[in-house]
Amino acid sequence: FWLVPTFKNRKLPPGPPTFPLVGNLVFVTKSSYGLKAILRQLWAQYGPIVTVHFGPRRMIFVSDRHLAHEALVQKGSVFADRPVPGVATRFVTSNQHNINSAPYGDLWRLLRRNLTSGVFHSARVRSFARGRERALRAAVDLMRSESEAGRSVDVLGVFRYALCSSLLVMDFGTLVEDEKIVREIEEEHRRLLLGFARFNVFSIFPSITKLVYKERWRELVEIRRRQEEMLLPLIRARKEIVLKKLEGGGKGEDGFEFSYVDSLLDLELPNEEGRRLTEGEIVTLCSELLNAGIDTIAGTLQWVFANLVKHPEIQEKLFAEIESSTWREITGENDDSAEFIPEEKLQGMEYLKAVVMETLRLHPPNHFLLPHAVKENVKIAGCVLPKGTIVNFAVSEMGLDENVWENPTEFKPERFLEINKDVDLTATREITMMPFGAGRRSCPGLGVAMLHLQYFTANLVRGFKWTAKQGTSEIDLSEKQEVGVVMKHPLEAVLVRRRISNQS
Ligand code: HEM
pLDDT tens digit sequence for 358-368? 999 999 999 99
- Please tell me the predicted confidence (pLDDT) of residue 339: 83
CA 193 – ligand 1 centroid, Å: 14
- Please tell me the predicted confidence (pLDDT) of residue 3: 39
Query: Ligand 1, atom 29: nearest CA belongs to which residue?
Result: 445
Query: Ligand 1, atom 28: nearest CA belongs to which residue?
Result: 445
Contact 456, 160 (CB under 8 A): no
- Please tell me the predicted confidence (pLDDT) of residue 5: 40
Query: Ligand 1, atom 3: nearest CA belongs to which residue?
Result: 296
108 CA: nearest ligand 1 atom: 41
364 CA: nearest ligand 1 atom: 5
Q: Is 31 buried (19+), middle (13-18) or exposed (0-12) by CB count in 10 A?
A: exposed
- Please tell me the predicted confidence (pLDDT) of residue 1: 34
CA 208 – ligand 1 centroid, Å: 33
Q: Which of 126-130, 334-338, 450-454 is the most confident on average?
A: 450-454
Nearest to 299 by CA among 487, 31, 493, 468: 487
What is the residue type of 20? P
72 CA: nearest ligand 1 atom: 16
- Please tell me the predicted confidence (pLDDT) of residue 494: 92
> What ipTM does this complex have?
0.99
pLDDT at 99 over 90: yes
What is the residue type of 230? M
pLDDT in tens, 121-159: 998 999 999 999 999 999 999 999 998 998 989 999 999
CA 30 – ligand 1 centroid, Å: 23
Q: Which of 24-38, 48-62, 254-268, 335-349 is the most confident on average?
A: 48-62
Distance (Å, rounded) from C-alpha 425 to C-alpha 422?
9
Name residues whose C-beta falls within 8 Å of residue 152's C-beta, 6 or more positions apart in sequence.
Answer: 146, 468, 469, 492, 493, 494
pLDDT at 2 over 90: no
Mutate to test the pocket of ligand 1, among 368, 443, 483 (most ligand atoms within 8 A of CB): 443
In DSSP terms, which residues pair with 102 in a beta bridge? Answer: none
pLDDT in tens, 324-335: 855 555 555 555
82 CA: nearest ligand 1 atom: 40
How large is the average pLDDT for residues 388-407? 96
pLDDT band at 18 (very low <50, low <70, confident <90, very high): confident
DSSP 3-state helix, strand, coil percentages of the chain (rounded to 5)? 55, 10, 35
- Please tell me the predicted confidence (pLDDT) of residue 4: 39
Distance (Å, rounded) from C-alpha 29 to C-alpha 117?
40
The crossing angle, in degrees rounded to 10, of helices 279-310 and 446-463 is 40
CA 442 – ligand 1 centroid, Å: 7
- Please tell me the predicted confidence (pLDDT) of residue 386: 95
Query: Ligand 1, atom 10: nearest CA belongs to which residue?
Result: 436
288 CA: nearest ligand 1 atom: 35
pLDDT at 96 over 50: yes
Q: Summarize the annotated binding site for heme as residue ranges.
A: 443
Distance (Å, rounded) from C-alpha 24 to C-alpha 52?
7
Contact 69, 434 (CB under 8 A): no
Distance (Å, rounded) from C-alpha 201 to C-alpha 105?
28
Contact 156, 490 (CB under 8 A): yes
pLDDT at 384 over 90: yes
Query: Ligand 1, atom 41: nearest CA belongs to which residue?
Result: 441
CA 366 – ligand 1 centroid, Å: 9
Query: Ligand 1, atom 7: nearest CA belongs to which residue?
Result: 436
CA 169 – ligand 1 centroid, Å: 18
Which protein residues touch ligand 1 with a CB less than 6 Å away? 99-100, 112, 288-289, 292-293, 296-297, 300, 364-366, 369-370, 435-437, 441-445, 448-449
pLDDT band at 277 (very low <50, low <70, confident <90, very high): very high
- Please tell me the predicted confidence (pLDDT) of residue 473: 73
pLDDT band at 293 (very low <50, low <70, confident <90, very high): very high
98 CA: nearest ligand 1 atom: 35
How large is the average pLDDT for residues 443-458? 98
pLDDT band at 336 (very low <50, low <70, confident <90, very high): low
What is the residue type of 154? D
How large is the average pLDDT for residues 331-345? 72
How large is the average pLDDT for residues 403-425? 90
Please report, rounded to a whole number, the percentage of residues in the chain having pLDDT higher than 70. 89
Give CA 258 to chain center in angstroms.
23
Nearest to 200 by CA among 28, 402, 324, 429: 28
**3-state class (DSSP) for residue 466:** strand
What does each C-alpha distance from 351 to 105, 108, 360, 464 come to in angstroms?
A: 40, 37, 14, 18
Question: Mean pLDDT of all residues in the chain?
Answer: 89
- Please tell me the predicted confidence (pLDDT) of residue 502: 46
- Please tell me the predicted confidence (pLDDT) of residue 335: 53
- Pairing mode of beta strands 485-487, 479-481: antiparallel
393 CA: nearest ligand 1 atom: 16
- Pairing mode of beta strands 372-373, 390-393: antiparallel
* CB burial string 158-171: b at 16+ within 10 A, e below: bbbbbbbbbbbbbb
- Pairing mode of beta strands 57-62, 390-393: parallel
pLDDT in tens, 154-187: 999 999 999 999 999 999 987 788 889 999 999 9
pLDDT band at 27 (very low <50, low <70, confident <90, very high): low
- Please tell me the predicted confidence (pLDDT) of residue 422: 77
pLDDT in tens, 190-245: 998 888 888 888 888 888 999 999 999 999 999 999 999 999 999 999 999 888 87
Q: Which one is predicted more confidently, 66 or 17?
A: 66
- Please tell me the predicted confidence (pLDDT) of residue 347: 87
CA 499 – ligand 1 centroid, Å: 34
300 CA: nearest ligand 1 atom: 1
pLDDT in tens, 33-75: 678 889 999 999 999 999 998 777 889 999 999 999 999 999 9
pTM, whole model, 2 decimals? 0.93
CA 462 – ligand 1 centroid, Å: 28
CA 125 – ligand 1 centroid, Å: 16
| Beta strands across the sheet bearing 390-393 | 49-54, 57-62, 390-393, 372-373
Nearest to 129 by CA among 346, 279, 306, 331: 346
How large is the average pLDDT for residues 83-112? 95
- Please tell me the predicted confidence (pLDDT) of residue 247: 76
Distance (Å, rounded) from C-alpha 79 to C-alpha 199?
26
pLDDT at 76 over 80: yes
The crossing angle, in degrees rounded to 10, of helices 129-148 and 446-463 is 40
pLDDT band at 504 (very low <50, low <70, confident <90, very high): very low
Query: Ligand 1, atom 9: nearest CA belongs to which residue?
Result: 436
CA 441 – ligand 1 centroid, Å: 9
